[in-house]
Chain A
């Protein structure tokens, strides 16, 4: 026990004396939490329009003002020909070109139908589909308005009409930041756990102090605990700083209890620290350790459902996510912070994480050989 105390004292001194680690602890959460949620807004809006109006009629003008009034579209410019409009798309100055043919108003009134052509920049497929769908629903509305003007509607609508009302629970304002922030907290905690811990151990290998430790009577588990505990504490500190920043900057207060968050985080940190430890046993230089952790982190975070829903992934990828501790933590953080899930709700995830922690740490301990 006393040995452990000395090891911990040494680790904490080194950590708090290292400007790089301090910067990671304080700057990293600030950077990520203050910038990323602002940047990570997928909502399709601010779609730039270029309009080719060959008709110059009342209807065509009404049509354009109806579209721009919706708030999703920004009218960039009018051009006189389609080729100019497609030029604008090529230059990325416009996302959608709307071409209103000549005789649009006349055809609509006399022939009872008229075409409108849309050309959508589909390099980003999701944006293209949603943008076009928005535009079409606005056109539909505009169309209904015109119809209403020309046909006297009976009191009861002649055709069956199903009204769809939707309500959005947990995040009624559809604030994307609420969704991102819990995920970013997970990324921060994971970075501390796997990155810093493995780098720290490998650094001792690289500069040779580990040799010195190995000839002392320190027990394996003492050394490992001496490394794990400081980063476990550090991980919880980062989480606390992160929660504080998300409250101050975004007013996010967990709907669930802090107790649940910390219990899960504590277990989760054991798992990622085990991973960090395992990485360190495979590496002899910091460069290797960094690259391997980075590689794993990238896969874990991308496949952890931070940016895109796991349900949309193909089956093989969903299988991978089951062996990815990050998935569980992101899930739990979102559930506890946004929905107020209780410890009982997340019990299955907690058990899985504890299994992870056990397996990874045992593997690491077996791998960490004091004797070559």
Chain B
């Protein structure tokens, strides 16, 4: 039996003054999937993602996240998702532990839960010794991994990752993806945007956005077959060349 859809969108559109950032996109994401959301800069990825997170109201179309409507039930959506933005989102002037405690707290987790989960998380990331250091003093790769762990700390059903591995080295990226797999195995749906085509290969399914529209959506293997390409890079280049919109 096929897994149920956790994200559904139908003709989802966002227009800014005289400019259609997201143009009637329709797709579904299944529970437990790792869904790659690709596109060139300015294709509308971040805008689409912000609508799905309830940060931005769609102009038209429908979308539900874990059964909640993006127009009316944004508060419910917020309880069931985690989010890691492009910009680094932890407080640099708080320690590792304080950041974890803060985010755990605002999702309404009990002190016992926070304590137990923090110990586990520190161990998992192997940063027990840094627990009381300011986040500002950590290397970028560690911060990214920590930010991801914090984003799924409250055990959300879905986690949205907006270019989570920008600017980190291949080894750290590898470790980062291991964390993603672990989360996925626990049943968390992963919705990730990225520029790295090798990362696209790690996803169960990949969509490619061009000029606000979804041009392709399939498994990485399926895409390569359709476009007769050997790598995801080729697939991406073939599609992205069609773009008419300027790089924003």
Q: Which residues of A contact B (CB under 8 A)?
A: 2-3, 5-7, 9-10, 13-14, 17-18, 207-209, 211-219, 370-372
The 7 A-B residue pairs whose C-beta atoms are closest, nearest first, are A208-B87, A6-B105, A212-B89, A215-B83, A217-B78, A211-B85, A10-B102
The answer to whether B78 touches A211, judged by C-beta atoms less than 8 angstroms apart, is: no
Name B91's closest neighbour in chain A (CB-CB). Answer: A209
Partner pick for A217 among B75, B88, B92, B160, CB 8 A cutoff? B75
Name 13 interchain pairs, CB-CB below 8 A, sorted by A: A3-B106, A3-B108, A13-B98, A17-B93, A208-B86, A208-B87, A211-B87, A213-B106, A215-B81, A216-B78, A217-B107, A218-B106, A372-B56
Which residues in B have their C-beta under 8 angstroms from that of A208?
85-89
Whether a CB of chain A sits under 8 angstroms from the CB of B90 is yes
- Greatest chain B CB density within 10 A among A3, A9, A10, A13 is at A10
Name A226's closest neighbour in chain B (CB-CB). Answer: B106
The answer to whether B91 touches A14, judged by C-beta atoms less than 8 angstroms apart, is: yes
Cα–Cα, bound, A219→B75 (Å): 8
Partner pick for A209 among B81, B89, B106, B107, CB 8 A cutoff? B89
The minimal Cβ–Cβ distance linking A309 to chain B, given in whole angstroms, is 44
Name B56's closest neighbour in chain A (CB-CB). Answer: A372
Which residues in A have their C-beta under 8 angstroms from that of B93?
13-14, 17-18
Whether a CB of chain A sits under 8 angstroms from the CB of B94 is yes
Whether a CB of chain A sits under 8 angstroms from the CB of B79 is yes
Whether a CB of chain A sits under 8 angstroms from the CB of B220 is no
Partner pick for A216 among B91, B98, B101, B103, CB 8 A cutoff? B103
Cα–Cα, bound, A5→B114 (Å): 15
The minimal Cβ–Cβ distance linking A221 to chain B, given in whole angstroms, is 13
The minimal Cβ–Cβ distance linking B83 to chain A, given in whole angstroms, is 4
16 additional contacts (CB under 8 A) given A215-B83, A372-B56: A3-B105, A5-B105, A6-B101, A14-B93, A14-B94, A208-B86, A208-B88, A209-B91, A212-B84, A212-B85, A212-B89, A213-B106, A216-B78, A217-B107, A370-B55, A371-B56
> Which residues of B, 106-125, contact A by the 8 Å Cβ criterion?
106-108
Name B89's closest neighbour in chain A (CB-CB). Answer: A212
The answer to whether B91 touches A7, judged by C-beta atoms less than 8 angstroms apart, is: no
Whether a CB of chain A sits under 8 angstroms from the CB of B57 is yes
The answer to whether A215 touches B108, judged by C-beta atoms less than 8 angstroms apart, is: no
The answer to whether B55 touches A2, judged by C-beta atoms less than 8 angstroms apart, is: no
Tier of interface size on chain B = 20 to 34
Whether a CB of chain A sits under 8 angstroms from the CB of B54 is yes
Cα–Cα, bound, A370→B102 (Å): 19
Whether a CB of chain A sits under 8 angstroms from the CB of B74 is yes
The minimal Cβ–Cβ distance linking B186 to chain A, given in whole angstroms, is 20
Contact with A along B39-76 (1 / 0, CB 8 A): 00000000000100111110000000000000000110
Cα–Cα, bound, A207→B88 (Å): 8
Which residues in A have their C-beta under 8 angstroms from that of B107?
216-217
Cα–Cα, bound, A216→B105 (Å): 11
- Greatest chain B CB density within 10 A among A5, A6, A370 is at A6
Which residues in A have their C-beta under 8 angstroms from that of B101?
6
Which residues in A have their C-beta under 8 angstroms from that of B92?
207
Cα–Cα, bound, A165→B91 (Å): 66
The minimal Cβ–Cβ distance linking A5 to chain B, given in whole angstroms, is 7
The minimal Cβ–Cβ distance linking B97 to chain A, given in whole angstroms, is 11
Partner pick for B108 among A207, A214, A217, CB 8 A cutoff? A217
Name B16's closest neighbour in chain A (CB-CB). Answer: A372
Cα–Cα, bound, A360→B124 (Å): 47
Which residues in B have their C-beta under 8 angstroms from that of A211?
55, 83, 85, 87, 89
The answer to whether B56 touches A217, judged by C-beta atoms less than 8 angstroms apart, is: no
Which residues in A have their C-beta under 8 angstroms from that of B50?
372
The minimal Cβ–Cβ distance linking A363 to chain B, given in whole angstroms, is 22
- Greatest chain A CB density within 10 A among B55, B79, B86 is at B55
Partner pick for A6 among B56, B83, B87, B102, CB 8 A cutoff? B102
The answer to whether B78 touches A215, judged by C-beta atoms less than 8 angstroms apart, is: yes
Which residues in A have their C-beta under 8 angstroms from that of B79?
217
Which residues in B have their C-beta under 8 angstroms from that of A14?
91, 93-94
The minimal Cβ–Cβ distance linking B60 to chain A, given in whole angstroms, is 16
Name A10's closest neighbour in chain B (CB-CB). Answer: B102
The minimal Cβ–Cβ distance linking A31 to chain B, given in whole angstroms, is 25
Name B85's closest neighbour in chain A (CB-CB). Answer: A211
The answer to whether A13 touches B81, judged by C-beta atoms less than 8 angstroms apart, is: no
Which residues in B have their C-beta under 8 angstroms from that of A370?
55
Cα–Cα, bound, A213→B92 (Å): 15
Which residues in A have their C-beta under 8 angstroms from that of B82?
215
